[in-house]
Structure 1
Amino acid sequence: MEKVIYGFAYWLALLLFSSVALAKPDGMMLAKVYHQSIKLDDYWVSEKYDGVRAYWDGQQLWSRGGNAIAAPAYFTENFPNIALDGELWIARQQFAKVSGIVRSHHASSQWKIVQYRVFDLPELAKPFNQRLTELKKVIKLSASPYLYLVPQFKVKSHVELAQLLDAYTAKGAEGLMLHKGSSIYSHKRNDDLLKLKQFVDAEATVIEHLKGKGKYQDMLGAIRVKNSAGLVFKIGSGFSDAQRRSPPPIGSVITYKYTGETKTGLPRFPVYLRVRSDARLNKN
């Protein structure tokens, strides 16, 4: 009985100090790329999950683009009635599968393998150090079998961080995230949240299909794309034969990876990864 009373009081307290009413998110906190000029002691480190970013407003899941996610009632029935920020995830290297389930309107039973991995309390107007403490209590009190806390830990040096990245990547992880402990949740991209991967990825819009040659005759050879900076370039690698026969549509947004930039700012060795099949369902 004492635990029930404590739990009720705790949820009530969380709702009272939430400064914004539960509703569709006004954007989410987005990550910049890690750089060694940061003071590493200030940051918490966690795995970067290869899933679909999702915001729980206390009643409804939302995508990063602001569209409602049609999760089945059984999946969210024991979620707390406070705002959460996290990732819909199945397992490492399973982005296509979880993305397909989240986008489908006929995959209710498949949601049983999906987890909601939570890393923040976005409407709690306190530094991340304190939000993390409160979040641990929220997850502990939850009865949902689909709700998980994202483990956060400290790393002593940039060298250790690089070694950790190699270890996680070798196990199939996408990379690491760094969250500044003193930061207040903001609905924008800044250095309070950083991502670290063995390659850089970005998005661009397909503007042209280029015909293949040789073994790719009568199939796609490359796509011409335009990135957010307005730069136009070609991507010719990373495609399977099936994707070359049915290439990403013109006007679609794709994700690609690259290993740096040329002197003119173009991505070096760009490789196609996937279509961002719904611009409202994205990774962080």
Structure 2
Amino acid sequence: MRWNSRGTARSDRACLVGEDDGRFGARWFVAMAQAACQRHRRKSSILGKDARSMATGWRVMRRLRWQSGGVNFRGWNRFRQGNVMRQSVRSCGALVALLCIASLAGPPFAAADTVSPVMLANVYHAGVVLDDYWVSEKYDGVRGYWDGETLQTRTGATLHPPAWFTAHWPKVPMDGELWAGRGAFDVASVAIRQQPADEAAWRRIRYMVFDLPSHPGPFTERLGALKKVVDGLNVPWVQRVPQYKVANQAALEAQLDRVVRQGGEGLMLHRGASLYREGRSDDLLKLKPYDDAEARVVAHLPGKGKYTGMLGALLVETAQGVRFRLGTGFKDEQRRHPPPIGSLVTYRYRGTTSSGKPRFASFMRVREGT
């Protein structure tokens, strides 16, 4: 392969993608992506003043699930099998243009919360006026959003519970948590993914409702309306989340200690005067004895010693572009079948280093719906 003065890859054979007989290798595609990134970086005017750097190209390839260990490029295989590339990409220039256009979509995190119709929490911090907030337990389950017809995850993926579970539910949206009890996150996680639905597993799950998204009033008013909706359903697997007030910071910390000692995850604080709105804000806060966050899986790092042949650690990347390894917190089954590349995982940690990397990071779970 040769490169001309403009940084464009030239190959008499590979440029004619439609005439290729299958020997068009993944390494050629990597070289093309690198060339596209270099041109993309030098000629930012093509994509506007905010054109992204070379790293954008690698994020695009990760979104297409590039597996760097060989030539198993599943996105390319799907293009070839569908004959799309033969029909639409007849030159190297067209492929470069395709990569540049794809980069406009931004990094994989860009759509993580925009897909979600739900209200999301910030982390509790100093300076919060506790008199303004209602407090409740933070349930360690799977977020469930009822839109009046279907039950969805926070990312908008449709769930398929048994028909009896949502029978006679109201046409008004409800927001809550699919919860199997303290310390039983795995039960809820497995149940929502099984198809067909496991009746016995769903019998263990309760829908803990904490809000009515379509109600026009502030949260304090919504609580009264929520009580009427849940009481009207009168089924044991749909319950209203208890909300209460605390007098001061000491009372809040004492309540957190009680919940954690009993196996709970933490507390939620909801501003009484707030309207329901999508996205993160201080209208909703979470308080836990540790910090947690999410990161995208970039690679699987092989294990050593007793973990030979299994996962040793995940290489992950945060929304801010910080990469680090997650090597603890996994069960043996998770090491044998690790979270797929491209998925979002939740990890816990205790503060960050000067470079922004989380300290004592430990894997918790795969985020549902990714």
TM-score in terms of structure 2 length: 0.66
Alignment-mate amino acid for residue 189 of structure 2: S
In the other structure, the counterpart of 1:9 is none
For residues 226 and 258 of structure 1, the distance between their equivalents in structure 2, rounded to whole angstroms, comes to 15
In the other structure, the counterpart of 2:74 is none
For residues 152 and 67 of structure 1, the distance between their equivalents in structure 2, rounded to whole angstroms, comes to 28
Alpha carbons of structure 1 residues 115 and 274: separation in structure 2 relative to 1, 3 Å? same
Residues 1:267 and 2:358 aligned together: yes
Higher normalized contact order (CA 8 Å, seq sep 6+, divided by chain length): 1
The counterpart of 2:212, out of the listed 121, 124, 138, is 121
For residues 74 and 220 of structure 1, the distance between their equivalents in structure 2, rounded to whole angstroms, comes to 40
Residues 1:206 and 2:297 aligned together: yes
Q: How does 1:220-259 map to 2 (within 5 A)?
A: 220-259=311-350
In the other structure, the counterpart of 1:68 is 158
Following superposition, the deviation at residue 163 of structure 1 comes to 1.7
CA contact (8 A) 1:165 1:176 kept: yes
In the other structure, the counterpart of 1:97 is 187
For residues 273 and 130 of structure 2, the distance between their equivalents in structure 1, rounded to whole angstroms, comes to 12
Range that drifts further, 61-70 or 181-190: 61-70
| Rg comparison, structure with higher value | 2
TM-score in terms of structure 1 length: 0.85
CA contact (8 A) 1:139 1:147 kept: yes
Range that drifts further, 36-45 or 52-61: 52-61
Residues 1:83 and 2:173 aligned together: yes
Helix, strand or coil: the match of 1:68? coil
CA contact (8 A) 1:36 1:158 kept: no
For residues 67 and 278 of structure 1, the distance between their equivalents in structure 2, rounded to whole angstroms, comes to 6
For residues 185 and 109 of structure 1, the distance between their equivalents in structure 2, rounded to whole angstroms, comes to 33
In the other structure, the counterpart of 1:175 is 266
For residues 148 and 314 of structure 2, the distance between their equivalents in structure 1, rounded to whole angstroms, comes to 41
Following superposition, the deviation at residue 210 of structure 1 comes to 2.2
Alignment-mate amino acid for residue 154 of structure 1: K
In the other structure, the counterpart of 1:219 is 310
Q: How does 1:40-55 map to 2 (within 5 A)?
A: 40-55=130-145
Alignment-mate amino acid for residue 208 of structure 2: R
Following superposition, the deviation at residue 244 of structure 1 comes to 2.7
Following superposition, the deviation at residue 42 of structure 1 comes to 0.4
Unaligned runs of 5+ in 2: 1-114
Range that drifts further, 137-146 or 115-124: 137-146
CA RMSD of aligned residues (A): 1.7
CA contact (8 A) 1:231 1:266 kept: yes
CA contact (8 A) 2:116 2:154 kept: no
1:241-277 Cα distance to aligned partner (Å, 9 max, x none): 3333333232222111101111221111100112235
Alignment-mate amino acid for residue 169 of structure 1: V
Following superposition, the deviation at residue 26 of structure 1 comes to 6.3
Alignment-mate amino acid for residue 92 of structure 1: R
CA contact (8 A) 1:28 1:187 kept: yes
Alignment-mate amino acid for residue 33 of structure 1: V
Alpha carbons of structure 1 residues 182 and 89: separation in structure 2 relative to 1, 3 Å? same
Aligned residues with identical type, % of pairs? 50
1:38-69 Cα distance to aligned partner (Å, 9 max, x none): 10110000000011111112222121111221
For residues 121 and 231 of structure 1, the distance between their equivalents in structure 2, rounded to whole angstroms, comes to 36
CA contact (8 A) 1:78 1:143 kept: no
Alpha carbons of structure 1 residues 277 and 31: separation in structure 2 relative to 1, 3 Å? closer
In the other structure, the counterpart of 1:33 is 123
For residues 260 and 80 of structure 1, the distance between their equivalents in structure 2, rounded to whole angstroms, comes to 43
Following superposition, the deviation at residue 32 of structure 1 comes to 0.5
Following superposition, the deviation at residue 81 of structure 1 comes to 2.1
Helix, strand or coil: the match of 2:126? coil
For residues 69 and 219 of structure 1, the distance between their equivalents in structure 2, rounded to whole angstroms, comes to 31
For residues 198 and 305 of structure 2, the distance between their equivalents in structure 1, rounded to whole angstroms, comes to 44
Following superposition, the deviation at residue 217 of structure 1 comes to 3.7
In the other structure, the counterpart of 1:4 is none
The counterpart of 1:149, out of the listed 226, 240, 252, is 240
Helix, strand or coil: the match of 1:32? strand
Range that drifts further, 240-249 or 67-76: 240-249
Alignment-mate amino acid for residue 151 of structure 2: L
For residues 138 and 190 of structure 2, the distance between their equivalents in structure 1, rounded to whole angstroms, comes to 19
Following superposition, the deviation at residue 85 of structure 1 comes to 0.7
CA contact (8 A) 1:225 1:234 kept: yes
Unaligned runs of 5+ in 1: 1-24, 280-284
For residues 313 and 147 of structure 2, the distance between their equivalents in structure 1, rounded to whole angstroms, comes to 41
- Answer 1 or 2: which has greater strand percent: 1
Following superposition, the deviation at residue 191 of structure 1 comes to 0.2
Number of matched pairs: 255
Range that drifts further, 234-243 or 68-77: 234-243
For residues 131 and 141 of structure 2, the distance between their equivalents in structure 1, rounded to whole angstroms, comes to 27
Following superposition, the deviation at residue 194 of structure 1 comes to 0.4
- Answer 1 or 2: which has greater helix percent: 2
Following superposition, the deviation at residue 93 of structure 1 comes to 1.2
Q: How does 1:14-33 map to 2 (within 5 A)?
A: 27-33=117-123
